[in-house]
Amino acid sequence: MKRIALIAHDEKKSVMIEFAKKNRDLLRECDLVATGTTGKLINEEVGLPVERMESGPLGGDQMIGAEIAKERVDGVIFLRDPLTAQPHEPDITALLRVCDVHNTPLATNVATADIILHGIIEKE
């Protein structure tokens, strides 16, 4: 089963929930891992099981980065807010670097998230 990491800045959490609802059937075919609050929302509002790491400000994005480095993640969806991200929110730079090093696809918006999700599932 493919493992997908989900991360969303505060202003993009509602977009992540809508993405998860729209793609519920595909996401059910994956093991999901997420930062704390994002994972909690996906579990509660979409009904999908999610392995929750710490929240972003407590290092959850770095924990996901470690999973990528161990090659335990097949794709990352990080819906970031490029205009109003807050200092406490996860920084994409480190995740982007580790994804590039390990050739792991990373999406930063819904358009690329759709492509990655469909590509990973259909590739199986």
Task: Give the mean model confidence (pLDDT) for residues 82-91.
Answer: 71
Longest dimension (CA), the chain: 38
Give CA–CA dist 104/62, Å, rounded.
Answer: 15
Reduced DSSP (H G I as helix, E B as strand, rest coil) percent helix, strand, coil of the chain, to 5: 55, 15, 30
Q: For position 4, what pLDDT does the model report?
A: 98
Q: Is 102 annotated as a binding residue?
A: no
Q: For position 82, what pLDDT does the model report?
A: 82
Instruction: Show the domains of the chain with their CATH numbers.
Output: 2-123 (3.40.50.1380)
Q: Is 35 annotated as a binding residue?
A: yes
Looking at every residue in the chain, the average pLDDT score rounds to: 93
Asked if the model's pLDDT at residue 85 lies above 70, the reply is no
- Pair 3, 30: CB distance under 8 Å: yes
Answer with the residue of higher pLDDT: 18 or 87: 18
Residues designated as active site? 61
Q: Which helix (H) or strand (E) holds 110?
A: helix 110-123
Q: Is 104 annotated as a binding residue?
A: no
For 41, phi then psi, to 5°, come to -65, -40
Task: Give the mean model confidence (pLDDT) for residues 89-115.
Answer: 92
Q: For position 48, what pLDDT does the model report?
A: 98
- Pair 104, 76: CB distance under 8 Å: yes
Task: Give the mean model confidence (pLDDT) for residues 26-48.
Answer: 97
Is pTM beyond 0.75? Reply is yes
Q: Is 13 annotated as a binding residue?
A: yes
Give CA–CA dist 58/89, Å, rounded.
Answer: 9
Cross-strand pairs, 4: 32, 75
Per-residue pLDDT reduced to its tens digit, 60-77 = 999 999 999 999 999 999
